Amino acid sequence: MPVSFDAMMRYINSVGRKLARVVSRARGDMRTPWQRFLGRFELLLVDHGFIRALYSNRHQVAPGMYRSAQPSPAHVKQMADLGVKTIVNLRGEGDTGAYLLEAEACRRFGIELVNFSVSSKRAPPRETLLAAARMFQELNYPALMHCKSGADRAGLMSAVYLAMHERRDADEAAAQLRLRYGHLRIGRTGVLDEIFRQYRRDAAETPMDFSTWVEQVYDADKINLQYRSGRLGNLLVDRILRRE
């Protein structure tokens, strides 16, 4: 009996998750040389760091703010050499080789690490966007924001940075969510674009800037309910690219 592509991807992802759990348990807190090797193995293979070693997806959002994929220790050093003082980790604090190595590298190179967790497949609650605006006011610049691939969460927060901190036009801000950065609108990650589409609809009826809209009108539950992603897009985003 033929096996569907979706079933095959579910099996591959299941094996990958099991491998990740085994490596994570053996890696521990990376105190021994073997555990440190496993931490780097986890970063490079389980977390797809081998791809980011070739392409970091790093771009300047505005003077003093950058965006990228998950940085390796070598990438953290590069950012320190460029004068970056703060890294904002949009994946949130976690017991992973990627996070432990990043935190260690930040301490070594004198960069402040700020953990600010957001989802790539759900419109964030209003308080998250307001907290982001407060964070942008308080960061020690120059700064870098990153998620796993540098496409969706980094794109959303770069757009929020431009719209709420830099007070740029919403269309200019929304351009941070584009295919050139790896962002896909056809799967569940497309809900991030729906945020700006809803803003345009509301602002067309009652003109207001993006920050005012977030404070007074923005409804994450409404956006999450009204957005519908396609099956093919979900397969690509969830099964193949494994966006978080």
Q: Exposed/middle/buried for 104, CB within 10 Å: 0-12, 13-18, 19+?
A: middle
pLDDT mean by block of 10 residues, the chain; 244 residues: 51 60 79 85 84 94 98 97 98 94 98 98 98 98 98 98 98 97 89 97 98 98 87 57 62
Q: Exposed/middle/buried for 232, CB within 10 Å: 0-12, 13-18, 19+?
A: exposed
Give the strand pairing for 86-89 and 112-115.
parallel
Answer positive or negative: Cα dihedral of 133, 173, 221, 242.
negative
- Which two structure tokens, joined as six digits, stand for 115? 């953990």
Distance from C-alpha of 80 to C-alpha of 82, rounded to nearest angstrom:
5
CA contacts within 13 A on the Cβ side of 85: 6
pLDDT, residue 220, reads: 98
**Residues 142 and 82 sit within 8 Å (Cβ to Cβ):** yes
pLDDT, residue 126, reads: 98
Could you tell me how far CA 216 lies from the centroid of its own chain? 26
- pTM value is 0.86
**Residues 214 and 126 sit within 8 Å (Cβ to Cβ):** yes
Please state the three-class secondary structure of the chain as a single string.
CCCCHHHHHHHHHHHHHHHHHHHHHHHCCCCCHHHHHHHHHHHHHHCCHHHHHHCCCCEEEECCEEEECCCCHHHHHHHHHCCCCEEEECCCCCCCHHHHHHHHHHHHHCCEEEECCCCCCCCCCHHHHHHHHHHHHHCCCCEEEECCCCCCHHHHHHHHHHHHHCCCCHHHHHCCCCHHHCCCCCCHHHHHHHHHHHHHHHHHHCCCCHHHHHHHCCCHHHHHHHCCCCHHHHHHHHHHCCCC
Q: CATH number of the domain at 56-242, please?
A: 3.90.190.10
pLDDT, residue 227, reads: 87
- Domain coordinates in residue numbering, the chain: 1-46, 56-242
pLDDT, residue 29, reads: 83
pLDDT, residue 237, reads: 61
